[in-house]
Amino acid sequence: MEPLTFDMILVMAMIGLAIFLFIVEWVRVDVVAILMMVTLPLLHLVTPKEAFVGLSSNAVVSIIAVIIIGAGMDRTGMINKLVAPVLRIAGNSSSRIIIAISVTVAVISSFMQNIGAAALFLPAIQRISKMQKIPLSRLLMPIGFSAILGGTITLVGCSPLILLNDLLAPFNLEPFGLFDVTPIGLVLVFSGITCFVLFGRFILPQGDPMDGGESESSSSSTSPDHPQPDADQTEFYELRTPDDFTDYRDPVFVEDLRRRYLLNVVAITEPPDFKVISPMPDVEVRSGIDLAVCGLKKDALRMASVEGMHLKDNLEVYKDSLSAQTAGSVEVVVGPRSAFSGKSLKEINFQDRYHVTPLSVYRQEETYRAHIGDIVIQVGDVIELYGTWKRLTVLHKEGGLLFSLPSDAEEMRPEKTLWAGFWLVTALVMIMGFKIQLSVALMTGALGMILTKVLSIDEAYQSVDWRTIFLLAGLIPLGIATEKTGAAAWIAHSILSVIGDVSPIVLLTVIGILSTMFTLVISNVGATVLLVPLVVNMAIAAHTDPRMAALVVGLATSNSFMLPTHQVNALYMGPGHYRTVDFIKAGALVSVVFLVVMIAMISLVYGI
C-alpha cells in the first residue's frame, strides 16, 4: 500500500468537509458542490480543466435531456391519461390499485427522474384515494418506494446510474448499456411491491378509512357550491356587518378575524360596492358591508355573536363571484426544489402577489389555521389555498406547488401527445439500435419536443433543476481528485486490511451496506461520486470484478427508504401524514429485501 501523502490528506479533508456540510445543511447541497469545484483547483488537486469537466460530461447532459423529455410528457397530459385505464384494471381492491399504480410509476421512473414521476402522479393518487375511499397513507408510501425502485430499471432512471459510466471511464472499464440493469431493476420493483402486498397491513399506517374521501391533504377542489356536510369540515359563509360596526371601537382588520375566530376572509366588499376576492390581511372590515369567510360553522356562529354580525343562510352577494365555475379551494403540496421552500407565508405574500388566500397549513400530523403567516414553508407541507381559478392557474404555472386544477383551467397540450411519444421512442431507438451516445440520443429527443412545440424553449429551460445539475457537475472533480491523488486506492486498501480476505459476494454485500448508509445521510449523487472510485480500487485489490462493485454502488444508492431524506419520501411525507417512524418501519424491511435481491440478481445475471 502506498504511503499516505499530503495530497491524499487534503482530498480526504475535502471529502470529510463535503459529507459534513451535506449532513448539517448549513448551505445547500449544490453550493457545497460548487465549493468543491472551485476549491480543488485552488489546492492544485485537479487542473482547472478537470474542475469544470463535469459541466460538459455525458452524465450531466443526459440528465438535462431526461428532465426536458419528462417535462414534455407532463405537458401533454400523458400521465393523467394513464390513470383511467389503470383504475379499470385495478377495480376497487386497494391491493390491486397499489400494484397497478406502482408498476405504472416504476415504468415511467425508468425513463425520467423518479422525483418527476412521483410529483406527476401525486394529484392523480390523491384523486384515486378520494374516489375509492382508501386512506392516502396506504397508497403513497408503496407508490413512492416504487418510483425510487423504478429508477433502477434502466441506466437513465436515476442520477447515480447515469453517472456510472462517466465514473468508470478513468479506469478504462467497459461501460454499461441502457438495459444492462433491467433484469435486476425489474426484480427489485417486484420484490418491493410484494413487500407491501404481503406485509402492508403490518408496516403501513392504516389511517382513517374516510381519509381517502375527505383527507385534509387531498388535492380535490372545493367551492361554496359544494360545502362539506360534516360539522368538522370547513364551509363558506356570508355575513353582513352592522351599520355601527366601526363606531366606538378600534379598527378591525381581515387578519384579526383569522386570529380571533380561525376564519379566513375570502371575499369582502369595499365602499361603495367593490367586491375584493382574497383580500389582503391589512384590509379593514367596515360598517354595513358583506364578507364571505371559510371555516367551521361553530366559529362563524361565534364571530357573528361576538361581533354583532348577521350570518346569512346562503351565499347571496357572492353567489356568482364564488361559484364553482369561478373560484374554489385547492390543497397543494410544496414540491421538491420549490422556490417557496424556506420562506414564511408572510414573505411569500400569496394575497398580494397571486390574489389567493392561504386557509391552513398541514405538517406532520398537525393542521395550523391561526398565525400561519409566520410558518416557514418546507418541502412536503400541504397548504390549502382559496382563489379564483384564473389566479390559481397563474400560481400553478409558476411551479413549485403540486396540485390539480379543473381540466378547463389547465393549459395542457394533449394534441402533442403523439409527438412526445415519438421523440421518446426515437431517443430510445437511437441508443439501442444505433449505439449512439446516451447524451446525444436523449438531447435529440429533447430538441425534437421543442421543435415540434410539445413545449417551448423557455418551458424547457424552466423545467431543468439547475441545482441538481451543479450538484452533479461540482462533485465529479472531487471523484477525479480522489482517484488522481491515490486517496481512493489508499482508503480501499485500508478497508480491505480491516475486513480481511473475503469472497466476492461478501465484498459486494459490504459495499451495498456502505452505499446504503451513505445515501441515507448525503445525496445519492454525492454518495455515488465518492464511493465509485473507492470501491473500484477495493475490487481490484480483492481480485473481484470492479464493474460489479461500481454497479452495486449505482443501485444501492437508491436504497434510501428508512428516512424521509430521499426527495420522493420528503415529497410524500406531508400528504401521506407520515412520521419518521413510519419510514423506519416500512423502509427497514424494504431495504433489507433490496440488498438481498440486488446481490442475488447480480450474482445470477453476471455470474459473480
- Nearest Cα residue to 479 out of 121, 264, 170: 170
Contacts of 555 (CB under 8 A, 6+ apart): 152, 160, 161, 181, 184, 185, 188, 512, 598
Which of 101-105, 332-336, 600-604 is least confident? 332-336
**Cα–Cα dist 461/451, whole Å:** 14
Q: State the DSSP code for 3.
A: P
Query: Looking at residues 498-512, what average pLDDT do you find?
Result: 89
**Cα–Cα dist 358/360, whole Å:** 6
Q: Is the pLDDT of residue 221 over 70?
A: no
Query: Looking at residues 206-214, what average pLDDT do you find?
Result: 49
Q: Which amino acid is at 284?
A: E
Q: Which residues pair with 235 in a beta bridge?
A: 295
3-state SS assignment for residue 502: coil
Which of 100-109, 205-214, 234-243 is least confident? 205-214
Per-residue pLDDT tens for 278-321? 888 888 898 989 999 988 889 999 999 999 999 998 888 888 77
CA 571 to chain centre: 4
Q: What pLDDT, on the 0 to 100 scale, is given for residue 106?
A: 92
Q: What pLDDT, on the 0 to 100 scale, is given for residue 95?
A: 83
**Cα–Cα dist 375/439, whole Å:** 42
Cβ 606 vs Cβ 548: under 8 Å: yes
Q: What pLDDT, on the 0 to 100 scale, is given for residue 146?
A: 94
Q: What's phi and psi for 401, nearest 5 deg?
A: -120, 130
pLDDT, the chain, mean: 84
Cβ 110 vs Cβ 179: under 8 Å: no
Q: What pLDDT, on the 0 to 100 scale, is given for residue 96?
A: 85
Q: What pLDDT, on the 0 to 100 scale, is given for residue 48?
A: 93
Q: Which pLDDT band holds residue 207 (cuts at 50, 70, 90)?
A: low
220 vs 142, higher pLDDT: 142
Per-residue pLDDT tens for 435-491? 888 889 999 999 999 999 999 999 899 888 788 888 888 888 988 898 889 888 888
Q: What pLDDT, on the 0 to 100 scale, is given for residue 219?
A: 37
Q: What pLDDT, on the 0 to 100 scale, is given for residue 97?
A: 85
Element holding 486 (H helix, E strand): none
**Cα–Cα dist 38/45, whole Å:** 11
**Cα–Cα dist 34/44, whole Å:** 16
Q: Is the pLDDT of residue 208 over 50?
A: yes
Q: What pLDDT, on the 0 to 100 scale, is given for residue 589?
A: 95
Q: What whole-number percentage of the chain has pLDDT above 70?
A: 91
Q: What pLDDT, on the 0 to 100 scale, is given for residue 345?
A: 87
Q: Is the pLDDT of residue 215 over 70?
A: no
**Cα–Cα dist 51/314, whole Å:** 67
What is the tally of helices (H) and strands (E) in the chain?
A: 26, 10
Q: What pLDDT, on the 0 to 100 scale, is given for residue 230?
A: 42
> Which cell numbers hold the place of 39?
476549491
> Which cell numbers hold the place of 126?
390523491
Per-residue pLDDT tens for 364-423? 667 787 778 888 888 888 888 888 888 888 888 787 787 766 644 556 687 888 999 899
Distances from the Cα of 467 to the Cα of 69, 90, 104, angstroms: 18, 38, 28
Per-residue pLDDT tens for 19-33? 888 888 788 888 999
Per-residue pLDDT tens for 43-62? 999 999 999 998 888 888 98
Q: Is the pLDDT of residue 224 over 50?
A: no
Q: Which pLDDT band holds residue 249 (cuts at 50, 70, 90)?
A: confident
3-state SS assignment for residue 319: coil
Element holding 585 (H helix, E strand): helix 580-606
- Nearest Cα residue to 496 out of 539, 557, 458: 539
Q: State the DSSP code for 120.
A: H
Q: What whole-number percentage of the chain has pLDDT above 90?
A: 29
3-state SS assignment for residue 203: helix
Q: What pLDDT, on the 0 to 100 scale, is given for residue 121?
A: 76
Cβ 396 vs Cβ 330: under 8 Å: no
448 vs 73, higher pLDDT: 448
List, edge to edge, every strand of the sheet that includes 366-368. Answer: 366-368, 357-363, 382-388, 327-334, 401-402
**Cα–Cα dist 156/154, whole Å:** 5
**Cα–Cα dist 543/66, whole Å:** 36
Cβ 114 vs Cβ 145: under 8 Å: no
Residue that has been written with the C-alpha cell 411569500 in this structure: 348
> Which cell numbers hold the place of 411?
393549459
Cβ 437 vs Cβ 430: under 8 Å: no
Helix ranges (H only) for 91-136 are: 94-109, 114-132
CA 71 to chain centre: 14
Q: Is the pLDDT of residue 231 over 70?
A: no
Which CATH class name applies to 222-403?
Answer: alpha beta
Query: Looking at residues 170-188, what average pLDDT do you find?
Result: 92
Q: What pLDDT, on the 0 to 100 scale, is given for residue 79?
A: 66
Q: What pLDDT, on the 0 to 100 scale, is given for residue 492?
A: 84
Positive or negative: CA dihedral 374, 377, 382, 387:
positive
Contacts of 398 (CB under 8 A, 6+ apart): none
Q: Is the pLDDT of residue 541 over 80?
A: yes
Q: State the DSSP code for 253.
A: B
Per-residue pLDDT tens for 508-524? 999 999 999 888 877 78
**Cα–Cα dist 471/104, whole Å:** 29
